[in-house]
A = this chain, B = another copy of it.
Amino acid sequence: MFSKSTEYALRAVLYIAKYSSADKKIGIETVSTAVGSPKSFTAKVLQKLTKNNCLINSVSGPNGGFFLTEEAKKTSMLRILEILEEEHVITKCVLGLQECSDVNPCPMHNRYKLIKPLLIDMFENKSIQDVLNELTDSSITLIDVQDIRITHK
């Protein structure tokens, strides 16, 4: 559904939010190893999320790394998609038509318009904090089993 960039971003943000704080920042090495994503590539994706200045914070230098403020943890999962400009994956026409709407629908429109709001809600009505709460349940995971075997730089 989403691009790899976005998958990595979602996992990385959740991991950072979970295992860090302003006191205990977490480095890209740790993050990328934990969520099974290539280090340098993940770094680039996270840069996009630090620039907006309202989701991830980062600090250079020793004991530096990434972290989320308590305020930032209240952000919805949808916000991550917005910043990465991947909302369209959910919102656009299933057949790829530019002009697909209630007045000018594609043949799938009337069915998809029932599902689209549920998909949006799944991200909008779920904050990062909500995910963190779930993650206290040890059966819920962010680790990518397959990729974790590969050595990333």
Q: How many copies does the complex hold?
A: 2
Q: How far is the CB of A124 from chain B (nearest CB, A)?
A: 11
CB of A151 within 8 Å of the partner chain: no
CB of A4 within 8 Å of the partner chain: yes
CB of A126 within 8 Å of the partner chain: yes
Q: How far is the CB of A57 from chain B (nearest CB, A)?
A: 21
A interface residue count range (under 10 / 10 to 19 / 20 to 34 / 35 or more): 35 or more
B1 A98 Cβ-Cβ under 8 A? no
B2 A96 Cβ-Cβ under 8 A? yes
A95 B145 Cβ-Cβ under 8 A? no
CB of A24 within 8 Å of the partner chain: no
Chain B residue nearest to A119 (CB atoms) is: B115
